[in-house]
Structure 1
Amino acid sequence: MMIPQRRLLSWIAVLCALALLWALSNLLPRAVGDLLALLTGSGVVLLALAAAIDALRLWRLPAPSGSRQLPPAFTAGVAAPVTLQLASAGLSRRTQVVDHPPSDDPHTGLPQWVTPADAAITELTYHYRPQRRGEACFGALELWLTSPWGLWLRRHRVAAPAQVAVYPDVRWLSQEALFQASLQRQLSGSHRRQHQGDGQEFHQLRDYQAGDALRQIDWSATARRHALVSREFREDTNRHLVLLVDGSQRLAAGVGERTAFDHALDAALLLATQALNQGDRPGLLLVNGSEPLWVPPLHSRAQLHQLLGQLYRVQPSRFSADYSEAASTLLRRWRRQAVVILITRLQPDDLDDLLHATRLLRGRTRLLIGDVVLPDEAVIQDADVETADQALALAGLARYQQEREQLYARLRHAGVFVVSAPPASLTRRLNHLYLSLRRSGRL
């Protein structure tokens, strides 16, 4: 496609003005009218000839080619360079370059004008900053070639579709490491409860002692020694930690530029990292409809990229939360003992469903719940009451919080540990609870 440039339009405007004056030449001397007619006619011929020649020269330029160099992955909220490599032979003396990155960054600095380099390849670099994790989809390159005399622009599209993963920004993990070191020092003076004799990991054989359960007796060793021998167990030092993340519409609410679901994933990543540091084995179950995402327990920090690779594109679905179904799914996926940390946004009417889920998991898991409290609730609570609508909203919030506290009390009575916090602080508070319970031997 070709479009006229401003220079061509300016000459057309000049000829139109001359033609208008020629049309009014009956008001002017005859000599002036003849001169205007000559200028107008010759100008039209010359401009048409120049425009045709310039268009032909532009059309005969070799088709431009190019490619896009992208990083292996982007990080949400972090600008990264994108380099365009264009064949210099296919560029005009001035070429406007338009790329089509995702529309969530309006500050890429595009389009840009470039002149062909002396080398075979002309490079142009801009920076793209994705706002959300997921997939960054790039479209075609669009080049606008200027004709030699600057009368025309010709558009040429270079097909260069690409998709690049956008991972969540996990740089905060290094900042949390300093906090966790401080937390470990705070907890170092607390009493660490030891578990012996009733754990899940075999420790040693010993002589039978009064009070030992019948199941502890090793009958083979007893037959060899002709005396009762008992098996001693200890607490399994490598606990399995399952992060049960609610992927329903409850966590789709926006919190600034992110969602509550993004903060839930942050909490899951930090807990997984901390669990590996403690020698535990974290896995993850994301329940977001008919196809739950299951990542089996990891054995080393080197496998964290596997967890990131599974989570970076996941978004909350539109289904309603069903904790009983989530518990059943977990029991089908994992049949061993585990500590389960549920990250969700509780509602007062969840009590029956949660108690049923707790009964399903009883005996095989220890349940912790991290409840996401939206910041808007705190804003309403701290706001001044000036109108009847504000008073009604505050009364409704107070009633809602009272019912939620009753829900917490019933859950704690059923043996569930519950922590509630706004999204920005939930990650730290939930991790503090996990470390405290682990240190005290209550997990």
Structure 2
Amino acid sequence: MLKAFYQSLFFTTRFYALMGGIAIFFVVTFFFPSLLIVAQLLTAALLLLVMVDIFFLYQAGKQPLQVQRDMASRFSNGDENNISLKLVNNYRFPVTVIVIEELPVQFQVRDFRKKVFLKSGEEKDMSYTLRPVERGEYQFGKTNAFVRSLLGLSQRHIAPVNETTIKVYPSFMQLRNYEFFSFNNRLQELGVHKKRVIGHSTEFDHIKEYSRGDDVRTLNWKATARRGTLMVNNYVEEKSQQVYCVIDKGRNMKMPFNGLSLLDYAINSSLVFSNIALQKGDKTGMVTLAAQQVEVLPASNKKTQMNLLLERLYAQETQWEESDYEKLSVSLRSMFSQRSLLILYTNFESMTGLQRQLPYLRRLAKYHLLLVVFFENTELKKVTKDDVHTVEGIYRQVIAQKFAYDKKQMVKELTRYGILSLLTPPEQLTLNVVNKYLELKARSLI
């Protein structure tokens, strides 16, 4: 009991400042002996006030201050996650509480400190947000509360046992945002373009008046003769098609942007895209490629597919080795008998890197509809637009322009062999992939 008392008792800066002032006053009494009695009285008064302060802090029992941390059971990677702290003052007098959280080491936050004033019996909620940039387990320590009375000479340390481990999953918050806007038919506010989808299957849907852009081959001449205006047949949009997100986990996906690696951007995008594809009636699956290892989650449109995707994406990590695209093309050729849409998330920084993998990409595109998604280096793009006034700056800008030009050449090179491509900034990846998918559906290429 006595050990716990000593471990929880701390003195404040105010106490040490007063002690230092009294010490200096004692030095002065060496030159003015008549002031010694005053110094002694001040010392006694300070010690008495400290004892009174300690008595009031510890007379309230075991739970003078209730501290409770509330947060979600899992965090969303790359998003702001809210954590709330609930404080309840059970003292009979107002107190000042200093809260110091033991945050996970991944955040590298060592100066978390919040100060709050509580009246007697008052309850207050404090909140803060954390943005994880890595998937995995995060260990939260204790919530340390230091309670001070109005005297402010000492403080009592209260630390409830609330250590917990939180798992950080791919960005399910982004997924919920898309689901919410999709449910309310407001995806245009997020930047998703509404595509005019006309199915080319043999299942008839309805007849409507001809409008510019309709396929003239679907003209219904009998309906046209009856109505006296051009009428066209519409058919049901193709559904239950296989769509796979192929994620490259090689070293080229380790490059960071705004704290997240390219792999994390690809994972967050594939999660949102898969949910939209399921809503469109297609079957979604996932393929991961690392060195010579190819893992496949078969495409399905079951309700449990999103949970399977989330759990599979949670554990993915980049590798230092370069991915084997030959292994990928051979594996997918043997596993997939049905023509599918393959969205390959990868990155090429030079034409040489693309040329090395181009034969295998062409082989994939021969049997499937292949969309190669790679990333625009936004930092280099900023350099190309900077005003430079030195020779070194000119050299840097020319090199940056060369890299940016190579990216555009890669798009042309892929197009030359009939391979679809998407060059996008990392922060706009999800939006651009969803728009591209809707475009392919509208053109009935899948």
TM-score (norm 2): 0.69
Deviations 1:199-250 (A, max 9, x none): xxxxxxxxxxxxxxxxxxxxxxxxxxxxxxxxxxxx9842111111223332
Residue 320 (structure 1) aligned with residue 322 (structure 2): yes
| Residue of 145, 156, 159 corresponding to 2:147 | 145
Hey, what's the Cα distance between the residues in 2 that align with 1:59 and 1:10? 23
| Residue of 181, 187, 192 corresponding to 1:177 | 187
Q: Which residue matches 2:37? A: 38
The alpha carbon displacement at 1:282 in A equals: 1.2
Kept after mapping to 1: 8 A contact 2:343/2:373: yes
The alpha carbon displacement at 1:140 in A equals: 0.6
Q: Which residue matches 1:220? A: none
Q: Which residue matches 2:69? A: 68
Q: Percent identity?
A: 15
Residue 417 (structure 1) aligned with residue 410 (structure 2): no
Provide closer, same or farther for how the CA distance between residues 144 and 313 of structure 1 changes in structure 2, counting only shifts above 3 A: farther
Kept after mapping to 2: 8 A contact 1:68/1:85: no
| Residue of 20, 25, 46 corresponding to 2:27 | 20
Q: Which residue matches 1:350? A: 353
Kept after mapping to 1: 8 A contact 2:87/2:125: yes
Residue type at the aligned position of 1:159: V
SS of residue matched to 1:279: coil
Q: Which residue matches 1:278? A: 280
Provide closer, same or farther for how the CA distance between residues 67 and 288 of structure 1 changes in structure 2, counting only shifts above 3 A: farther
Residue type at the aligned position of 1:20: V
Alpha-carbon RMSD:
4.3
Hey, what's the Cα distance between the residues in 2 that align with 1:433 and 1:94? 56
Q: Which aligned pairs between 1:128-277 and structure 2 lie closer than 5 A? A: 128-130=129-131, 132=133, 134=135, 137-146=139-148, 150-166=152-168, 168=171, 169-170=173-174, 171=177, 174=181, 177-178=187-188, 182-185=193-196, 188=198, 193=200, 237-256=239-258, 258-277=260-279
Provide closer, same or farther for how the CA distance between residues 91 and 342 of structure 1 changes in structure 2, counting only shifts above 3 A: farther
The alpha carbon displacement at 1:423 in A equals: 2.9
Hey, what's the Cα distance between the residues in 2 that align with 1:399 and 1:95? 57
Kept after mapping to 1: 8 A contact 2:93/2:120: no
Residue 88 (structure 1) aligned with residue 90 (structure 2): yes
Kept after mapping to 2: 8 A contact 1:74/1:80: no
Hey, what's the Cα distance between the residues in 1 that align with 2:378 and 2:432? 16
Deviations 1:347-391 (A, max 9, x none): 312345423433664664332211211123333444456443344
Unmatched runs of 5 consecutive residues or more in structure 1 = 26-32, 197-234
Hey, what's the Cα distance between the residues in 1 that align with 2:151 and 2:316? 52
Hey, what's the Cα distance between the residues in 2 that align with 1:73 and 1:350? 38
SS of residue matched to 1:145: strand
Kept after mapping to 2: 8 A contact 1:271/1:431: yes
Hey, what's the Cα distance between the residues in 2 that align with 1:380 and 1:148? 56
Hey, what's the Cα distance between the residues in 1 that align with 2:157 and 2:83? 25
Kept after mapping to 1: 8 A contact 2:376/2:423: yes
Kept after mapping to 2: 8 A contact 1:18/1:39: no
Hey, what's the Cα distance between the residues in 2 that align with 1:373 and 1:382? 15
Provide closer, same or farther for how the CA distance between residues 83 and 331 of structure 1 changes in structure 2, counting only shifts above 3 A: farther
Kept after mapping to 1: 8 A contact 2:201/2:238: no
Residue type at the aligned position of 2:289: V
Q: Which residue matches 1:207? A: none
Kept after mapping to 2: 8 A contact 1:22/1:37: yes
Unmatched runs of 5 consecutive residues or more in structure 2 = 1-6, 204-236
Kept after mapping to 1: 8 A contact 2:140/2:163: yes
Kept after mapping to 2: 8 A contact 1:92/1:145: no
Residue type at the aligned position of 1:285: V
The alpha carbon displacement at 1:68 in A equals: 1.9
Q: Which residue matches 1:367? A: 370
Q: Which residue matches 1:99? A: 101
The alpha carbon displacement at 1:418 in A equals: 2.1
SS of residue matched to 1:244: strand
Q: Which residue matches 1:126? A: 127
Hey, what's the Cα distance between the residues in 1 that align with 2:308 and 2:357? 30
The alpha carbon displacement at 1:435 in A equals: 3.4
Q: Which residue matches 2:116? A: 113
SS of residue matched to 1:158: coil
SS of residue matched to 1:3: strand
Kept after mapping to 2: 8 A contact 1:71/1:82: no
Deviations 1:41-100 (A, max 9, x none): 444455446545654665676444643222344454445351335583799944433223
Q: Which range moved further: 270-279 or 70-79? A: 70-79
The alpha carbon displacement at 1:19 in A equals: 2.0
SS of residue matched to 1:118: coil
Residue type at the aligned position of 1:281: K
Hey, what's the Cα distance between the residues in 1 that align with 2:187 and 2:272? 10
SS of residue matched to 1:286: strand
